[in-house]
Amino acid sequence: MNTNQKQGINTGDIVEAGLNRAQEYTLEDQEISFSDDQHAIWEDLFAGIQQPYLLEHLCQSYIDGIALLQLDPQRIPSVAYLNERIQPRTGWRIQRTAVRYTLADDWYKKFAQRIFLITDYLRSRREMEFTPEPDMFHDIVGHLPYLTQAFYARIEDRFAPAYFKGTAAEREVIKRLAWYTTEFGIVVEDGRFKIFGAGTISGRSELSNTIMEFYRLGRDNVIDYRADIFAQLQEQYLAHRTDLERIIAGVNQLHQHGQMSSQEHGWNVVQGLYHELGIDRKDYLGGEVILAPFDLEMIAQLPKTVYAFNPIFFVCESLEKMDAALDGYLSPIARRNV
């Protein structure tokens, strides 16, 4: 297993450092024998997420998908088991990789073949609440329930064709679009904010932070859940857009100086921006995280905070609106003659 990877400045990617390219990917699905300790970690991680008070905040497509996937709560599944439940439904299939954090070019080459990579790596006991590198629990429990769903497969199908025809700048935007939708997106369902992103679902600390923000917005009378919550969110966002742009500029500056390189330094450093920028932490900006309506221009400015908690989560009015927004950006690039 390769562990010699580090964060890339600005992009949020993990860049390679002396990797043996011949050993990164297997040509066939590789089954692995896991230790009792690894199965025990899986069991505890699974139990930690599958709680009614958490599940009620996850979007319905995830709930439907996890039911179809029928994961064993006590045992890490085999690749064959996962493919049996995914490939007949959406045509996507699963492969293992020894890489902990796949580089974007390699990732999208697999996407073009409708292959979703899951890493061999499983987080340690010390990382039960937060792991900066996506592990197999994130890959399987966070993403794969969605790959039983046709709409999700359709969304994922759009990324690779656009990525390989995009300019360098467009590729950065595409990576951030994926990050703030499929990894950390939020949608509105039944008049409530519901978590969509696999990164949030598979990480207890960010999951708890995000759910607490849903409640705080109601408690502090920022959002009235008896009315149209997306319209209210847009109103708050527009009223505070200048401060949000200043915060994002500050996040970029911290990122470029390597000050978001760990969980300990990440969110705590971002919180300090409010004081440095003279922004009053109350009402809309009074929580541990910020919810903002989906805004392509804003997403394009915000770096991927791989080694830190995400400071901002973007909300789509519905899954259909998310699908349309991604299509509006990705499809014209994919149709381009290069």
Query: Cα–Cα distance between 91 and 86 in angstroms, integer?
Result: 7
Give yes or no for a contact between 210 and 289, defined as CB atoms under 8 angstroms apart.
yes
Helices (H), 50-202: 52-55, 60-69, 79-90, 104-112, 136-137, 150-163, 168-178, 198-201
Lowest pLDDT segment from 9-23, 93-107, 318-332:
9-23
Give the CATH class of 1-338.
mainly alpha
Burial of 155 (0-12, 13-18, 19+ CB in 10 A): buried
Domain ranges of the chain: 1-338
pLDDT for residue 132: 75
Q: Residues 6 or more apart from 320 whose CB is under 8 A from it?
A: none
Residue-level pLDDT at 264: 61
CA-nearest of 317, 327, 302, 24 to 156 is: 327
How many Cβ atoms are within 10 Å of 9's Cβ, its own excluded?
Answer: 14
Length of the chain: 338
Q: Is the pLDDT higher at 286 or at 269? A: 286
Q: Which of 245, 180, 237 is nearest to 210 (CA)?
A: 180
* Residue-wise pLDDT tens digits, 21-30: 555 555 444 6
